[in-house]
Structure 1
Amino acid sequence: MTSTLPAVTTTKVPAQRQPAPETGSARRTSLPDRLRSSRSDLLLCGALLVAILVVQGWNIADYPTLSDDEGTYLAQAWAVQQGKGLAHYTYWYDHPPLGWIQLALLTWIPSLLSPESMTVGSMRVVMLLISAISAVLVYILARRLSLPRWAAGLAMVLFGLSPLSVVLQREIFLDNIAVMWTLVAFTLAASPSRHLWHHFGAGLAAATAVLTKETMLVILPALFLTMWRHSHRDTRKFAITGAVTACVLIGLAYPLFALLKGELIPGGGHVSLWDGVKYQMTRPGSGFILDSASGSHGVLRSWLYYDRVLPLGGLAGALLLLATWRWSVTARSLAGPALTVGILALLALRPNGYLPAMYVIQALPFLALVLAGGTASVAHAVLRRRRGEGEKRYFTGGRYALAAVLAVAAGAYVVPRWYDGDHTAVTADANAPYRAASKWLASEVENPEGTRVLVDDALWLDLVHEGYRPGLGVIWFYKADLDPAVTKTMPHGWKDIDYVVASPTVRRDAVDLPNVKAAIEHSTPVATFGTGDDRIEIRQIQTASGGVR
């Protein structure tokens, strides 16, 4: 009689159920081991970072031309450092103050060591730190979105070495800081380890980006799409809920700040957050971007003047990825950046929206990612091998030859144009008129402390360091008409001014500022630096009797 053993005694644990110990050991891998395994990425990223910092840092103080916005943000940072409040004049709710508070932290040590260096040209160097962090984050994000190493390097090159990027990332704009925090948020959202705290941190970083420059709010849907795709199915609800909660709670700090100061809604004798929002929503538009006569089209032309490859190529890459989303793994991985480009493009196409020159800064890293991703997708399609038995080897070789020809053709188109743009950035001196005007006002005016001069903010801190009284001696020209705290010190209007520095910005905006316009009309130039529309005139106010003040 034959006996049969119970089946249970021969049951084995299936091999596919054994990964848990491996996962645990992988998580316990030491930092040196992880660095060794990522050596190729570190070497490539490090080499590209050095190249980016050299190109962006060389000649940074002299090109591009100093802008009034740069001077405003730096002057507000200076006011924070000096304990004079959130701005160098009456603070009103145009942008959340977190952006220039971060600038104050970045410039604190340089200004402490050399107070006179707290000027726009010299302090541009701190933007290199922002550029470096952002460039590295572009590489990391590209790798986390499953791009091959070469494509991640291409994204970093596109972001850091495009002439458009070199020019705009040098400037002291809040947008550059906000973009850095947005990239932190996307990088955490795409974390391969899928820790809940990574998603919570992504929400915090997103809120920081919005409080740095409020326009980053429009990108949040793309961020949460990225988080949705890269979160674990079992913890997705917790991840998204935690990120949204963190973002909202931190974001509410700004209206809470206004509420606690009694400045949430309009009232007598104070500014308000509501007025700031109303101004932003009702400010005059700059026209349709495709209308050749509009201001928006002029802004577009200025972007394309520096570089056509990144804006147009990135837009084409986003369209390609969105069109192939259903059947392309690369397209699905880059859904978040592609959606970001789509959102920003649609907003720029508003019939009568306001389009500032720095608007494209928000799109630069995502344009680079989708252009690199589109290139990787095309390369994969060209080089993909068929698995059929009858495929001939020379056919595969032809695919590699085609890929090489396409790469050489792309390089032949891009490199000369980028070389010209980047060569201008590292050699041209666009700020000699500003330096000369600053030097003249420091040496030729006998009593700076008792002199009142209207300037744009690009020169404001220069003159503060030369002994002019901040706020009432050297006056940011807008405030001579728009700030009651300043206008009440000018009972006779333009007659209470000694000099006006008529830079391109001052001449352009004086049309809508009665005191500034009158000051220019009732003055004569005593020194002129530069030529044409870019000239800077130092004009001395004339009295009714024909004399000077």
Structure 2
Amino acid sequence: MTSTLPAVTTVKVPAQRQPAPRTGSHRRPVPPSRLRSSRPDLVLCGVLLVAILTVQGWNIADYPALSDDEGTYLAQAWAVQQGQGLAHYTYWYDHPPLGWIQIALLTWIPALISPESMTVGTMRAAMLVVSGVSAVLVFVLGRRLALPRWAAGLGMVLFGLSPLSVVLQREIFLDNLAVMWTLLAFTLAASPSRHLWHHFGAGIAAATAVLTKETMLVVLPALFLTMWRHSHRDTRKFALTGAVTACALIGFSYPLFALLKGELLPGGGHVSLWDGVRYQMTRPGSGFILDQGSGSWGVFQSWLYYDRVLPLGGLAGALLLLATWRWSVTARALAGPALAVAVFAALALRPNGYLPAMYVIQALPFLALVLAGGCASVAHAVLHRWRSEAERRSVGAARYALAAVLALAAGAYTVPRWYEGDRTAVTADANAPYRAASRWLATEVEEPRETRVLVDDALWLDLVHAGYRPGLGVIWFYKADLDPAVTRTMPGGWRDIDYVVASPTVRRDAVDLPNVKAAIEHSEPVAVFGTGADRVEIRRIQPENQPIAGGTR
């Protein structure tokens, strides 16, 4: 029996209508898949990079004034280069050593070619490499967070050309290196390709940032949030677990290092990581940042002296993005940087926290991104209203008109102030007193090898190159009171010193250092360079019993 199959009726299914692209504020902007494939992005980034390096590099050795911290990190890098360990004196667990190991690598070739150039002013040029890489990463991160091209460029300009950035990014600070690694971690976390190795790489970069400057720990929640938003749903748990594991394993290498050296816990005759952590946690606070007259208020005012636009505008941009998070795509895209700004602001507002001058360096890229993102969000909202209420208008013309108005308004306020700040940075000479003091000690002292002089670390390497014995001939002034390896060589205390170079840093901190204070009191100036509070005095010790009148001027 033959069975007949029923005929198959073909039913024509109407094509499903694709939803029209949304033009409102909820449309998700699409970042470029690869920056190198976008010629306009490359051109804009390249032009801005040249401008940033030119402004930051011009007059870099002469402004701002040399700081003791710069000299310390460079002297520690010099010790690494010379194979003398992790520091030029007894290493204690103030900061992880990875930061100045990187400085040693950056300065290795110029120091090899010209050893006498291993001084703070000259080696500031190495920081241009760090600033350039960080500026490019700000632009790339802005594009990966779906900022329009102009807004990513604006973020790069804010980060690299603000007078506050120009001053602080020139200096040899661990914070600048840590920012570079942190930006790399965020850029990998926001990778549009969502490869697992990108997220593992973000964890490794984050750990490197923390081991460069441990305070970058506070940014990790913002990095985790960025990674969560940009990871693929199917592999998110695996990617985040891998990133956290990579970060933790590398981060734990530092306490492991201390454990293997027998310096994890306090004990007789050695430094310890625990003592370093306890010092950082119990150091005296600098007061509330909004309490006029406090140390924190002074630091805050010093930031605003150089620039009000980036710190205050960035904070306002972060508040705007956090307030519009539920209905603004730009705000959600920049949730990580906005959270980072909020964390930095909350820590700065602690009632009696310690606020160092370089603290703002860590917040600069996030302030720049959220300020640029806030501008982009406002511009998008205005354009959306124009599209809804005036369909007959040209959207392109509206965009250009809005951009012109915003640029003119922002430029009228910002350009004059930035011009004055950046003009000072590229023309002023704040380090003439230090250079003059260095020349005097190199030429006027007959037997440098037999002379002992207390200096701040900004001059330490200058005198090493001038022939003074490193460590015990030229002595970093803190060590005359705080390092037993040095104090053992000074049985007579201040009487075993020949000269003290009373720079602003030495005069300020001598109050808490008995040997240094006595050396200043029992000395008289033989050469003075500069005037006022910024002067540098070279004082010869007078081993009489009575302090010299005016010795603590």
The TM tier, using the shorter chain, reads over 0.9
1:181-330 counterparts in 2 under 5 A?
181-330=181-330
Aligned to 1:20: none
Change (3 A) 1:7 1:158: farther
Inter-partner Cα distance in structure 2 for 1:91 and 1:9: 81
Displacement of 1:389: 8.8
1:45-444 counterparts in 2 under 5 A?
45-384=45-384, 391-393=391-393, 401=401, 403-444=403-444
Partner SS, residue 202 of structure 1: helix
Inter-partner Cα distance in structure 2 for 1:449 and 1:489: 15
Inter-partner Cα distance in structure 1 for 2:382 and 2:13: 48
Change (3 A) 1:15 1:472: farther
Inter-partner Cα distance in structure 1 for 2:547 and 2:458: 29
Partner SS, residue 491 of structure 1: coil
Displacement of 1:382: 1.3
Inter-partner Cα distance in structure 2 for 1:429 and 1:89: 31
Structure 1 runs of 4+ aligned residues shifted over 6 Å read 7-16, 33-36, 394-399, 545-548
Aligned to 2:543: 543
Aligned to 1:30: none
Inter-partner Cα distance in structure 2 for 1:353 and 1:516: 28
Q: Deviations over 1:433-461 (max 9, x none)?
A: 00000000000000000000000000000
Displacement of 1:293: 1.0
Q: Deviations over 1:197-243 (max 9, x none)?
A: 00000000000000000000000000000000000111000011000
Change (3 A) 1:389 1:209: closer
Displacement of 1:544: 1.8
Asked if 1 retains the 8 angstrom alpha-carbon contact of 2:348 and 2:355, the reply is yes
Inter-partner Cα distance in structure 1 for 2:408 and 2:176: 32
Displacement of 1:3: 7.3
Report how many aligned residue pairs link the two structures: 532
Partner SS, residue 256 of structure 1: helix
Unmatched segments (≥5 aa) in structure 1 = 17-32
Unmatched segments (≥5 aa) in structure 2 = 19-32, 549-553
Supply the AA of the counterpart residue of 1:411.
Answer: G
Asked if 1 retains the 8 angstrom alpha-carbon contact of 2:460 and 2:474, the reply is yes
Displacement of 1:405: 2.5
| TM-score with structure 1 setting the length | 0.93
Partner SS, residue 441 of structure 2: helix
Mean CA deviation greater in 139-148 or 383-392? 383-392
Q: CA-atom RMSD, angstroms?
A: 2.4
Displacement of 1:9: 11
Supply the AA of the counterpart residue of 2:176.
Answer: N
Partner SS, residue 384 of structure 1: helix
Aligned to 2:25: none
Displacement of 1:390: 7.2
Partner SS, residue 467 of structure 2: coil
Displacement of 1:266: 0.2
Aligned to 2:529: 529
Change (3 A) 1:8 1:464: farther
Asked if 2 retains the 8 angstrom alpha-carbon contact of 1:383 and 1:396, the reply is no
Partner SS, residue 164 of structure 2: helix
Displacement of 1:5: 3.7
Partner SS, residue 254 of structure 2: helix
Asked if 2 retains the 8 angstrom alpha-carbon contact of 1:385 and 1:396, the reply is no
Aligned to 1:450: 450
Supply the AA of the counterpart residue of 1:243.
Answer: A
Displacement of 1:409: 1.2
Change (3 A) 1:196 1:402: closer
Asked if 2 retains the 8 angstrom alpha-carbon contact of 1:500 and 1:540, the reply is yes
Asked if 2 retains the 8 angstrom alpha-carbon contact of 1:53 and 1:128, the reply is yes
Inter-partner Cα distance in structure 2 for 1:102 and 1:344: 25
Asked if 1 retains the 8 angstrom alpha-carbon contact of 2:206 and 2:247, the reply is yes
1:431-510 counterparts in 2 under 5 A?
431-510=431-510
Inter-partner Cα distance in structure 2 for 1:249 and 1:139: 30
